A and B are shown apart, each in its own frame.
Chain A
Amino acid sequence: MALRAQGVGARLGGVQVLHVLDLHLEPGRWTSIVGPNGAGKSTLLRVLAGLLPHQGSVCLGDRLLSQWPPRERARVLAWLGQSESVVDDLSVMDVALLGRLPHQAWLAKPNAQDLAVVEKYLRLTQAWDWRHRSLGALSGGERQRVLLARALCVEADILLMDEPLANLDPPHQADWLQIVRSLVARGTTVVSVLHEVSMALQADTLVVMAQGRITHQGPTSDPLSHRAIERVFGQRIAVHAVQGQWVAIPTSAPPATPPAAPD
């Protein structure tokens, strides 16, 4: 299912943090949004998820996002947020089961299918063994894997993730990459905001943002995309091919401009 934003803008605290922009996300592809801090990446993602009041329109499939009944929309559009404060008391199993809420009748007990889906994704994120522990008893990385499993349990057509690699160590980042690739292979549309630029370069499409605007959108293999990334990060990274993959490597700091001599 496609997700399309037209003339979208957003204000936070009276400040225009997202200027009018258009974005078309193709179904069954992985799009990564990158840019420096304060570029408006998370705001854009929240607008696409329908979580933030905005100007312009966002269409999910052939309907405006606002025209979707909330539960129906929740079944096709899943969300994994960034550093939301989470109450520690719920068990890992209960958190993952929350991902099945949009599929269940109100107050219904989870059925065999719900339990099977939860087990599948808790095993996939290697969280099954501590399913009875509370979130408060987990490390930051373990907690992130549980929250990822919760988002995967929705089994939505579109998965939006804001900094999903936060707190994950390199092996679990590699696992995440594998999960995303298998989702995309099954036809899921994935959109991720990432600070790990090398990981973002594994996506199909790259959206580069700066100061609330999209400065570039194109395939990750396109050299123009690489130049756009280098430009928004002030030439402090350079994109190179290493063993057949694109990676972003930090460059040395540009020479500081000497202060002007006083008259």
Chain B
Amino acid sequence: MSAPGRRSPLAWALVLCAASLLFVLLGVCVGSSGWQAWADMARDPVAWQIVWDIRLPRSVGAWGAGALLGLSGAVAQGLFRNPLADPYLLGSAAGASLGVCVALALLGVSPASLEWLAQIGLTGAAFAGATGAVLLTLVLARGVQHTLRLLLAGVVVGVVLGAASSLVLLMQPQLLQAMQGFLLGSTAFVGWSGCLLMLVVWSLCMAAAWWFSPVLDGLALGESTALSLGLPLAPMRLGLILVLALASGTAVAQTGLIAFVGLAAPHLVRSVLRATHAWLLLLSGLMGGALLLAADLLARALIAPQELPVGVLTAVLGGGYLLWLMHRQSASLPGGGA
């Protein structure tokens, strides 16, 4: 086996793109009506509608959300210099949950309002909540200069907003079921507009993160070294936090809370090759997309014609992967197990 450092990032990018394409094709074929819809789509308008309006946007949406989470995970881990940092670290998940919770409480859970919320309001509320939470974190941390203060503020905001959501649910328990779909994470309701939004946001965030990537490389050697290299840390750190907030907020708004993809994707990339952040950010996005797409396929296929919430599956698989990673690392340490 060749050393990770010698492997080509470009080759891995192509492999991940090819895997994603394959998963999208499989995603188009998998569903409650099985392969038949795919086979009949040329002559049956219903089959065409199933493939074009449901399965394809869902698969593309799963890739988009995964790519956004993978990218924001790599940004978070580089920015906070912590391999356990995840995209929701600045409170965006708790903010999005509260946004959805409050929107549901204000608009009620009647079928008509739920339909309206599913189309526009739920996504908008989640995004507003995520953005508000990140802004609150920045205010509490008094800027972006101090990493530890940012982390602590993110934890505080997450806990407080989580408690606020619980309070709303306690006062209006009928919202619990409606909230469940959001909390478990799902790609079932992603339409073409959501796909377009996620792909546009991913492209913008990827371009911005790539522009800031030398700062992440410099930070890998410590703040003092990064400063001594003439890197403008303060403005670029703010830029990276905006990328993190926009990418994770957009993903959460479209698919709800999907665990572990943002955490695991950069780790998987690092386990196969060594690269600077310019490549790591791109590959983490591609890996996140492929991961969530694969998890979505599994979620739809495992107990077909029923389906599992994809967030549950990513939590189980991602948790298992991290446990395995932890075991492997402790085994390789002096005094670790065989």
Contact = CB atoms under 8 A, between A and B. Distances in A.
Interface of A: 46, 49-51, 69-75, 77-79, 81, 84-87, 89-91, 93-95, 98-99, 101-102, 106-107, 132-134, 147, 150, 154
Contacts of B229: 74, 98-99, 101-102, 154
Contact of A81 (B4, B210, B217, B224): B224
A132 B220 contact: no
B243 to A, nearest CB: 16
A72 B229 CA distance: 9
A128 B62 CA distance: 43
A89 B270 contact: yes
A89 B274 contact: yes
B230 A73 contact: yes
B3 interface: yes
A132 B276 contact: no
B211 interface: yes
A51 B217 contact: no
Given A89-B274, A133-B5, A81 B222 contact: yes
Given A87-B220, A133-B5, A102 B230 contact: yes
Nearest to B227: A51
B232 interface: yes
Contact of A107 (B219, B274, B278): B278
A85 B81 contact: yes
A78 to B, nearest CB: 7
A37 to B, nearest CB: 20
B44 to A, nearest CB: 50
A94 B270 CA distance: 14
A95 to B, nearest CB: 7
A236 B221 CA distance: 36
The winner among B210, B218, B231 for most chain A CB atoms within 10 A is B231
Contact of B224 (A72, A84, A154): A84
A182 B113 CA distance: 77
A71 B221 contact: no
A69 B274 CA distance: 32
Interface string B11-51: 00000000000000000000000000000000000000000
B228 A94 contact: no
Contact of B221 (A72, A93, A95): A95
Given A70-B231, A101-B231, A79 B6 contact: no
A84 B278 CA distance: 23
Contact of B232 (A70, A72, A90, A147): A70
A126 B37 CA distance: 63
Interface of B: 3-6, 81, 210-211, 213-214, 217-225, 227-232, 270, 274-276, 278
Given A85-B81, A90-B274, A132-B6, A74 B217 contact: no
Contacts of A77: 228
Contact of B218 (A49, A98, A106, A107): A98
A98 B230 contact: no
Contacts of B6: 132
25 contacts: A46-B224, A49-B224, A51-B228, A74-B228, A77-B228, A85-B81, A86-B220, A86-B221, A86-B222, A89-B274, A90-B217, A94-B217, A94-B276, A98-B218, A98-B229, A99-B229, A102-B229, A102-B230, A132-B5, A132-B6, A132-B274, A133-B3, A133-B5, A134-B4, A134-B274
A96 to B, nearest CB: 11
Q: Give the dominant DSSP class at B's interface.
A: helix
A111 to B, nearest CB: 16
B109 to A, nearest CB: 46
A84 B222 contact: yes
Contacts of B4: 134
B225 A84 contact: yes
A70 B230 contact: yes
A226 to B, nearest CB: 32
Contact of A98 (B3, B217, B223, B275): B217
A192 B262 CA distance: 42
Contacts of A51: 224, 227-228
A106 B213 CA distance: 10
Given A81-B224, A134-B274, A91 B5 contact: yes
Contacts of A98: 217-218, 221, 225, 229
Contact of B214 (A69, A106, A134, A150): A106
A106 B227 CA distance: 15
A95 B219 CA distance: 11
A79 B228 contact: yes
Given A85-B222, A86-B222, A94-B276, A71 B81 contact: no
Contacts of A72: 230
The winner among B4, B220, B232, B270 for most chain A CB atoms within 10 A is B220
A134 B5 CA distance: 7
A143 B198 CA distance: 41
B206 to A, nearest CB: 14
Contact of B225 (A79, A94, A107, A133): A79
A46 B224 CA distance: 9
A89 B218 contact: no
B222 A49 contact: no
